[in-house]
Copies of this chain bind each other. A is one copy, B any other.
């Protein structure tokens, strides 16, 4: 085995931030991620890979070389948003008023969920490909329980409130995400307000006013059937 002097630097970190990519490759990677965010937000995370490639002005092969599976692309595309959620968590833990911290946290997360359809899917799917996901989740679970406990101890949550109600709330909000953001956002805010008023241990006899009602009527529910439209027949 001949010793070949390698010209490459010793590849400092084989982590997830590939710093040793060639300049053009790095540039393309970014373009793909941008395109993915746009396409996924508009057409859902099951949009054709070729659509993402086209939007990025890149061949399909380039896309697959960088992100071998769809999940890898999806995960990478929404890492930033995920970081936002994580930092919101930190803030909530640091808030001296646990009830307020919890409310603010959920409002932030729900706003993100409802604004970006792609992210909603990813968040709800638990992006199983994300390396740190299991650790992340266990940690989140624990911290959330702690947050809830603190709020309940402070007399800010009713006795029979359960940590599962947080999941319940997230699922409920995700149901709004199919609507266009200009509807979904006020809807989410109003839903959160309703729920938080119910979560309170000692509701005031005259409940606080609600944020404005979303522009929703029964016809506003229209969500297109996920029909497999092959060819339009003549």
With A141-B217, A141-B218, A191-B172 as contacts: A228 and B126 at CB distance below 8 Å = no
Interface residue A21 (Cβ < 8 Å from any Cβ of B): no
Assess whether A121 is in contact with B176, with CB atoms less than 8 Å apart: no
Chain B residue numbers with a CB within 8 Å of A153 are none
Chain B residue numbers with a CB within 8 Å of A216 are 164, 167-168, 171
Query: Once the chains are docked, how many angstroms separate the CA of A174 from the CA of B173?
Result: 10
Distance to closest chain B CB from A116 (angstroms): 15
Q: Mark A209-229, 1 if CB is under 8 A from B, else 0.
A: 110011111111111111110
Interface residue A61 (Cβ < 8 Å from any Cβ of B): no
Query: Once the chains are docked, how many angstroms separate the CA of A123 from the CA of B48?
Result: 27
Chain B residue numbers with a CB within 8 Å of A205 are 202-203, 205
Chain B residue numbers with a CB within 8 Å of A74 are 225
Assess whether B225 is in contact with A45, with CB atoms less than 8 Å apart: yes
Looking at A5-13, A22-30, A98-106, A155-163, the stretch in contact with chain B turns out to be A155-163
**Which of A174, A198, A226 has the most C-beta atoms of chain B within 10 angstroms of its own C-beta?**
A198
With A44-B226, A141-B217, A225-B45 as contacts: A168 and B195 at CB distance below 8 Å = no
**Which of A126, A175, A199 has the most C-beta atoms of chain B within 10 angstroms of its own C-beta?**
A175
Query: Once the chains are docked, how many angstroms separate the CA of A218 from the CA of B198?
Result: 21
Given A137-B218, A164-B213, A172-B175, 12 more pairs with CB closer than 8 A:
A46-B227, A71-B227, A121-B225, A122-B225, A128-B222, A164-B216, A168-B187, A168-B191, A173-B175, A194-B198, A197-B198, A203-B207
Which A residues have a C-beta under 8 Å from some C-beta of B? 44-46, 48, 70-71, 74, 121-122, 124-128, 137, 140-141, 144, 158, 160, 162-168, 170-179, 187, 190-191, 194-195, 197-199, 202-203, 205, 207, 209-210, 213-228
